[in-house]
Chains A and B, each alone.
Chain A
Amino acid sequence: MKAGAMRARAVASAAFALAALMGTAPALASPEASSNAFASGTTALEEGRYQDAIDHFEAYADRMPSHPDASFNRGLAYVMRVERGAGEPGDLGRAAAALEETLDMRADDAEARAALDAVHAEVARRRARAGKDAVLARPSLDRLVTRLFSETTWAALSVLGALVLASGIVMRRLRRQGPLHLAGVLMIPLGLLTVVGCVPLYHAARSLRLDTRPGVIVVREAHLTDERGTTQGAEAIPEAARVEVGARRGRRVPVRYGTSEGWLPASSVRLLRTR
């Protein structure tokens, strides 16, 4: 009986430890505070107090982890402030940033997708009114290929390629002829190509994840400069555009937009917080 009780206690302790280890991401603030901020923000948003709503949702966003619904409401608060005519410069960009965060956290959120499209459409409409062309930035080929899969997938494909290569070698050695031998002969180059192709892509995806962060332009348009602050003459990046942001240096951050690279004032880019 005593041994059974001890075992039960040990199991409970282990379960507790496991739960602690596998628990959700570390929350820096109490859930109550987060919940209150969300509720207050939503109430303010419904009552038309957009600035209060924004303050509450921004306070919520400061707490980690964030939540797609809170980010959605934050984006909506900025959008409504703009729609109401009380918008501040960069509000559409801030709305886009919040909606991008929502989609990063919950990719199948159709409402957020629609809202983000609406924000982009509004930015394009305002640019058209100001006589400016819509800017279309195409990602460069390396980014396009690297972002086909996640870093983990590239790593898994690399390992899979290595396994195929190893199996090919084994099969080729086991049989001197016949279908197994033929399969081995084919699998060796296949595995080798997979490894050679996927390992650099894994490293590229990892480097992108660790060295850059997604951000959104929160000024009417941003002009890329060189490191000294001299304008490069490239096309301006429109508000609400999603960019790739490097490590901040002083008041400027390195930014990549499509194939253009340069520096922008840190205040003109809002970094996305998705974890």
Chain B
Amino acid sequence: MSALRWVLLSLALLGVTLAPRRVAAAPPTIQASLSAEEVEVDQPVQVSLEVTYEGQISPAQPRLDAPASFDVSPASTMISAYNVRINGRQSIRQSYTARWVIRAPSTGRFTIPSPSVIIDGERVRARASLRLNVVAKGTLPARPPAPRGGSFGGLGSFLFGPQPRRPFDPRMMLDDDDRPLTDEGARLRMRRAPDPHVFLRIVPSKTRAYLGEQVSLSYYVYRRVKHQREHFKRAPLDDFVRFPLDPTERQAVTEVGGRRYFVRLKEEEAVFPLRSGRLGTGVLEGTFQVPRLGRREIERRSNEVFIDVIEPPVEGRPPGYRLGDVGRRLRLTAEVVPREVEAGGTVAVSARLEGLGRLPSKLKLPARAGVEWYEPELKGDLQRVRGTIGGWRSFGYAVRLDTPGTVDLGTLSLPYWDPRAEQYIVADVALGDVVVRPVANPTTASPAGSGGPTQNAADAESSPLARLAPPRRALGPYVPARAFDLAPPLVWTGVLVPPLGVLLAGGLWTGVRTARRRRRDRMDAPARRAREALAEARSADDPKESAAHCERALHLALEARTGVKSRGLLLDELKTRLETEGLADAEAIVGLLRRCETLRFAPVGDDAGGALVAETRTHIKAILR
């Protein structure tokens, strides 16, 4: 083969190698459109030119060569950018849009040359020209309500392809039309809109999962307005391990609170809970620049999703199961090389685990005397398989064999929980036998190294672990301490009630006693004085004096009983008053008072005083009873 052939072959190979890179850097696409293909004379029509591109090119100087008779407005331009993920490659796709509003002065069929723009110093234009049919005024049927913003194109037209164009609406709001929703749009409907313009939403595939089970999170951007720039801060997902799931963005129209929204799947992730409990995802944060809302950027935070994570059941849990080892259709294969080795030598055990889930990074190793397993070398590849993370993981072990003979390496296994089957499954593989030959010269085969299986005797003896108690063969008596939760309200009750109760009771007791004493004093003052007067009457020698004391005693007793100051009343009035107060023997009392008065001024015999005192005593007792 000649040298020329080799050169040509090399060039061909170089071309093949470089070809995908060229494909990866997508060339700009240019599209031109009219907002309507048929209009009336002098009716405004919007001409749009949209350039979609990646990289550092910057379109400039848009130009529309409309027919000379047309009224053409100056071009308005806009640049927007989107994050796009395709086949795992993330890129920023930008869109340059120029718009003109034209008016035709007369009827006819016009061909408008496609608008052009300068890209990299070269003026380029869309391929197809635009055709406009202009009819006389009043010829066309009345238009439906003015469409709002759907005509602006941008990501909508980019993702959905050409859509019916409508006249430009500066508010750039999504049309509330009655087009039927797609399945995805219907699925993403919401009753209420968290925000009238743009909002973020996280939708989980499930809200209850086992520890280690996959949950898919979809991040959506809902919008009714066009936005130019957006920037996102991912949900923190502190309690989860995350894997990107869906590399392609999708968009649909949905309904939120009775109004139409564009909904865009921004990203999809598979997340695996790291612990049990009610775990929050955190929120997705986004900033948007919405021309309709001014120049400043608006910030939006998504809802937070909570996943109830539970551990697989304890019942039936196989020995060696590690929490979080969850998967489906896990398969374990292994290869042992070589099958024959000298004592103290090592064999390589290459195990491969395949299946769905976040594949565990540790296998259950068989325990054998004289066999030592070193830490494995891990390799793996996890990918998305129809919405589920799965793949393979390999474990490269070095196994040291010390005991000569045929050694059964045992079975390598992985107990895991299958959440779909709701059961524990053990994936295992038998490793087979390895023939361990005795060492020809034992002195050279003496294993060394600290921490090796046969540490030297002196070292073993010096280890504090050498003198431990033997294992226990049976469970001894043990009663778990009863969980006794002394709740704060109970303790506070115990702390506050005794002193406060004593203080309260003391205060109450004092208050009651004071009140009673005051009442008794109020009641008892005249009564006591009545009794004293009676006692003085009894001890008086002179009947006059005795009568005077008796009269005073009676008046005091009446005051104590009724509160009536009887001394100031005429005796006739007193009788009536006492009867009114309910005293039964008012007449007798009044009669007694008359006699006292008589005795004071018309003395009778000495014994009259004694009888008067006795009668007064009887009445006073009755009054004060």
Select from chain B the residue with minimum beta-carbon distance to A79.
B465
Residues 93-125 of A contacting B (Cβ, < 8 Å): 105-106, 111, 114-115, 117-119, 121-122, 125
Q: Which residues of A contact B492 (CB under 8 A)?
A: 199
Q: Which residues of A contact B497 (CB under 8 A)?
A: 162
The answer to whether B364 has its CB under 8 Å from any CB of chain A is yes
Select from chain B the residue with minimum beta-carbon distance to A250.
B238
Select from chain B the residue with minimum beta-carbon distance to A112.
B469
The answer to whether B481 has its CB under 8 Å from any CB of chain A is yes
What is the 8 Å Cβ interface bit string for chain B, positions 468-497, against chain A (1 contact, 0 not)? 110111111011111110101001101111
In the assembly, what is the distance between CA of A76 and CA of B465, in Å?
Answer: 10
What is the 8 Å Cβ interface bit string for chain A, positions 11-50, against chain B (1 contact, 0 not)? 0000000000000110011100101011010101110111
Residues 152-198 of A contacting B (Cβ, < 8 Å): 152, 155, 158-159, 161-163, 165-166, 169-170, 173, 191, 195
What is the 8 Å Cβ interface bit string for chain A, positions 199-210, against chain B (1 contact, 0 not)? 100110010000
Say how far B44's CB is from chain A's closest CB, in angstroms: 57
Contact: A35 with B475, CB < 8 Å? yes
Q: Which residues of A contact B468 (CB under 8 A)?
A: 76, 79, 114-115, 118
Q: Which residues of A contact B582 (CB under 8 A)?
A: none
In the assembly, what is the distance between CA of A155 and CA of B460, in Å?
Answer: 49
What is the 8 Å Cβ interface bit string for chain A, positions 42-61, against chain B (1 contact, 0 not)? 10111011111101101100
Contact: B319 with A58, CB < 8 Å? yes
Contact: B471 with A76, CB < 8 Å? yes
Q: Which residues of A contact B471 (CB under 8 A)?
A: 42, 45-46, 72-73, 76-77
Q: Which residues of A contact B170 (CB under 8 A)?
A: none
Contact: A83 with B453, CB < 8 Å? no
With A118-B468, A165-B498 already in contact, the answer to whether A48 and B506 are too (CB < 8 A) is no
Contact: A114 with B469, CB < 8 Å? yes
Q: Which residues of A contact B499 (CB under 8 A)?
A: 162, 165-166, 169, 191
Say how far B180's CB is from chain A's closest CB, in angstroms: 43
Contact: A118 with B498, CB < 8 Å? no
In the assembly, what is the distance between CA of A24 and CA of B483, in Å?
Answer: 10
Q: Which residues of B contact A79 (CB under 8 A)?
A: 465, 468
Residues 431-474 of B contacting A (Cβ, < 8 Å): 450-455, 460, 462-469, 471-474
The answer to whether A2 has its CB under 8 Å from any CB of chain B is no
Q: Which residues of A contact B314 (CB under 8 A)?
A: 28-29, 62-64
Contact: A42 with B478, CB < 8 Å? no
Contact: A42 with B274, CB < 8 Å? no
The answer to whether A7 has its CB under 8 Å from any CB of chain B is no
The answer to whether B611 has its CB under 8 Å from any CB of chain A is no
The answer to whether B529 has its CB under 8 Å from any CB of chain A is no
Q: Which residues of B contact A38 (CB under 8 A)?
A: 475
Q: How many residues of B contact A (CB 8 A)?
A: 63
With A82-B465, A85-B451, A122-B463 already in contact, the answer to whether A203 and B367 are too (CB < 8 A) is no
Select from chain B the residue with minimum beta-carbon distance to A33.
B315
Say how far A201's CB is from chain B's closest CB, in angstroms: 11
In the assembly, what is the distance between CA of A125 and CA of B465, in Å?
Answer: 11
Contact: A115 with B320, CB < 8 Å? no
Contact: B486 with A155, CB < 8 Å? yes
With A25-B483, A82-B465, A106-B478 already in contact, the answer to whether A166 and B501 are too (CB < 8 A) is yes
Q: Which residues of B contact A84 (CB under 8 A)?
A: 453
Which applies to chain B's interface (DSSP): helix, strand, loop or mixed?
loop
Contact: A169 with B502, CB < 8 Å? yes
Which applies to chain A's interface (DSSP): helix, strand, loop or mixed?
helix
Say how far A189's CB is from chain B's closest CB, in angstroms: 12
In the assembly, what is the distance between CA of A82 and CA of B473, in Å?
Answer: 21
The answer to whether B369 has its CB under 8 Å from any CB of chain A is yes
Contact: B491 with A169, CB < 8 Å? no
Say how far A96's CB is from chain B's closest CB, in angstroms: 12
The answer to whether A69 has its CB under 8 Å from any CB of chain B is yes
In the assembly, what is the distance between CA of A191 and CA of B486, in Å?
Answer: 21
Say how far A273's CB is from chain B's closest CB, in angstroms: 11
Q: Which residues of B contact A63 (CB under 8 A)?
A: 314
The answer to whether B244 has its CB under 8 Å from any CB of chain A is no
The answer to whether B321 has its CB under 8 Å from any CB of chain A is yes
Contact: A162 with B495, CB < 8 Å? yes
Contact: A44 with B367, CB < 8 Å? yes
The answer to whether A251 has its CB under 8 Å from any CB of chain B is yes
Contact: B478 with A67, CB < 8 Å? yes
Contact: B464 with A73, CB < 8 Å? no
What is the 8 Å Cβ interface bit string for chain A, positions 246-258, against chain B (1 contact, 0 not)? 0011110000000
Contact: B367 with A52, CB < 8 Å? yes
In the assembly, what is the distance between CA of A45 and CA of B461, in Å?
Answer: 21
Contact: B465 with A119, CB < 8 Å? yes
Contact: A68 with B464, CB < 8 Å? no
Q: Which residues of B contact A228 (CB under 8 A)?
A: none
Q: Which residues of A contact B450 (CB under 8 A)?
A: 129
Find A105's partner among B275, B466, B478 (CB 8 Å cutoff). B478
Contact: B472 with A72, CB < 8 Å? yes
Contact: A25 with B480, CB < 8 Å? yes
Contact: B274 with A275, CB < 8 Å? no
- Which residue of B463, B482, B484, B498 has the most chain A CB atoms within 10 A of its CB atom? B498
Select from chain B the residue with minimum beta-carbon distance to A166.
B498
Select from chain A the residue with minimum beta-carbon distance to B452.
A85
The answer to whether A151 has its CB under 8 Å from any CB of chain B is yes
Say how far A171's CB is from chain B's closest CB, in angstroms: 10
Contact: B365 with A158, CB < 8 Å? no
Q: Which residues of B contact A49 (CB under 8 A)?
A: 367-369
With A69-B472, A85-B451, A114-B469 already in contact, the answer to whether A40 and B319 are too (CB < 8 A) is yes
- Which residue of B372, B471, B494 has the most chain A CB atoms within 10 A of its CB atom? B471
The answer to whether B317 has its CB under 8 Å from any CB of chain A is yes
Find A65's partner among B467, B473, B480 (CB 8 Å cutoff). B480
Q: Which residues of A contact B317 (CB under 8 A)?
A: 59, 62
With A52-B367, A115-B468 already in contact, the answer to whether A199 and B480 are too (CB < 8 A) is no
With A50-B367, A65-B480, A202-B491 already in contact, the answer to whether A162 and B475 are too (CB < 8 A) is no
The answer to whether B239 has its CB under 8 Å from any CB of chain A is yes
Say how far A141's CB is from chain B's closest CB, in angstroms: 23
In the assembly, what is the distance between CA of A77 and CA of B465, in Å?
Answer: 12
The answer to whether A86 has its CB under 8 Å from any CB of chain B is yes
With A24-B480, A50-B367, A275-B483 already in contact, the answer to whether A158 and B495 are too (CB < 8 A) is yes
Q: Which residues of A contact B479 (CB under 8 A)?
A: 24
A-B contact list, 21 entries, CB within 8 Å: A37-B319, A40-B319, A49-B368, A52-B319, A55-B319, A73-B472, A76-B468, A77-B471, A114-B468, A114-B469, A119-B465, A125-B463, A151-B486, A162-B496, A169-B502, A202-B491, A203-B488, A248-B239, A251-B238, A251-B274, A275-B480
Q: Which 10 A-B pairs have the closest CB atoms?
A: A250-B238, A166-B498, A51-B367, A159-B494, A55-B319, A121-B464, A85-B453, A55-B320, A111-B469, A118-B464
Excluding A86-B373, A125-B464, 7 further A-B contacts by CB distance (< 8 Å) are: A49-B368, A59-B321, A69-B478, A79-B468, A85-B452, A114-B468, A266-B275
